[in-house]
Structure formats: C-alpha cells, structure tokens
Amino acid sequence: MTPAYILTLSCPDRLGLVHAVSGFLLEHGGNIEEAAQYNDQATGLFFMRVQFACTQHDGATLREHLARFAEPYTMRFSLHAKAQTMPAVLMVSREGHCLNDLLFRVKSGLLPIDIRAIISNHRDFYQLAASYNIPFHHIPVTAATKAQAEARQYEIIQAEGAELVVLARYMQVLSNDLCTKLAGRAINIHHSFLPSFKGAKPYYQAHDRGVKLIGATAHYVTADLDEGPIIEQDVARADHTDTVEDLTARGRDTESLVLARAVKWHSEHRVLLNGHKTVVFR
C-alpha cells in the first residue's frame, strides 16, 4: 500500500499558495488525494489541509524539505502519516455517557484514536475500562491535593505519549498551568443552553425555565473556563411535555455525538486553530 500523509498548514495569505503547495508535492512525488483550503479575509491568514500519497520520500525527509519550503512563506505546518492512529488519554468523573460512547466507537473502528489510559477522580468506571483492557488511573482531587493530582495526571499523559486528551465529562477545572501544557490537544464537552445555565443541575434549571433548545459544545481547553476555540456544536428541540429526565437523556445523547465528531475531526487533523476560533475541514 502506498504511504499516505496529511499535511496541514497556515500562513499569511498571498497569491499562488495553492499552486506552490501542489507544485512542491508534485516535485517530491506526491499524489494529492484530498485537498481543502480557506482564506480568512478578516485575519489575512490562509489555511490548507492536503492528503497525499508518496513513495519517493519517507515522512522524515518530507518534513525536512517542507521546513525549507515553508520558511519564505512564514508558514506553520504539520505532517502526519495517515495510517498512524492518534494516542489519546480520556478523563472522566461520574457521568459516563461520553466515555462509554467513545470507547464503543473506537472498538468499532469508527474513531482513529488509540486510547492509552483513562484518568478519573472517582472509581466508578474502572470496570468499564477493564472490559476494554485500558489502564485506569484513579487520582482523587481536592483543593489541598489539586497540584499534586495534576502533576500525576500530566505524568501519565506524557508517559503514554498522548497527542490528545479528552475531558469526557471530567468535572474538575484544570489549572492555568495544565491548560497551557495541553494547549491545542485537549478537548472538553459541556452543555449549551439558551439561556445559559451554570452551576449544579443545569437540566433542572433549563426545565424550570421551559427551554425549547438544548445543546452541546466541544471546544479546546484554555485557562478561560468553557471559552476555548469551538470545534463543534449541535442542538436538540425540547417542548413543554419534556420532563427533567427527558432533557437530561437528550442532552447526554447530544453531548456524546458532538464530542465524538470533535475527537474524530481532531484525530484526522481536520481542525486548525485560527486565534480564538477554529477552521474545520470536514
């Protein structure tokens, strides 16, 4: 099978960028299989994702040549082997719907990630992890032990070589330090209501206000709580006949779907950061 690669890049926009990139790939024996590009007129930045096959060079050689090619364009790029499954660590607390959904999708071959470990501040899902033969790390978190707990979490993430950390309903606020260390590779999921309800029991609050839309937002983790660059969102309708249990069940389904899409797109290198926003080549 011919080796395939995924090239993603961003740089200041200028004439001839698509021609230059395709010319570079042609010169190095690359056959383009899929390509998408976007010019953000508000920021003047150009974004591109190219999937190509290549037998003339290996990945290391291509990266060396790409570095020289990218320099005059002030271009940031990454190159990944398409066949390489992304190493990931999942974090969860006591709500397991997103965790269970991700585990099943990976087992079914629907998500190209390799789940190396599950980290939780509770023991609730150690048997679920064991059923998938995935190491489970119980790390309790209190105000007094938060720094030590996060140090242990990061140690596991690094030891497993995780390129992605998924907060699959992990209900602890990460410190600014850990957010910085995980910048661009940690995805969180949370509900999104109109109007927004924060704090405990949001579905009870939503039911009390008679909301007609419930939804979910998947975004990259930043030090600003729940305000990181958004990757995916979706909504579901609600009406006066819905109970709190109905809203909760529908909300959990929406959260699971939105998070799965975000994880899939990230693991396929379809998401590029654009300041406080993202470019998603679906």
- CB 94: neighbour CB atoms within 10 A? 13
Instruction: Give the integer Cα–Cα distance in Å for 200 and 269.
Output: 35
Among the listed residues 226, 234, 246, 253, the single catalytic one is 226
| Contact predicate 172/153, CB 8 Å | no
Contacts for 273-278 with beta carbons within 8 Å, 24 or more apart? 273/184, 273/220, 273/229, 274/10, 274/40, 274/43, 274/45, 274/47, 274/229, 275/43, 275/229, 276/229, 277/229, 277/230, 278/220, 278/229, 278/230, 278/231
Query: In the β-sheet with 186-193, what is the strand arrangement from edge to edge?
Result: 136-138, 113-120, 86-92, 164-167, 186-193, 213-220, 230-237
Instruction: Give the integer Cα–Cα distance in Å for 213 and 234.
Output: 10
Phi/psi at 180 (5° precision): -65, -45
The yes-or-no answer on residue 226 being catalytic is yes
Phi/psi at 229 (5° precision): -55, 125
- The catalytic residues are 226
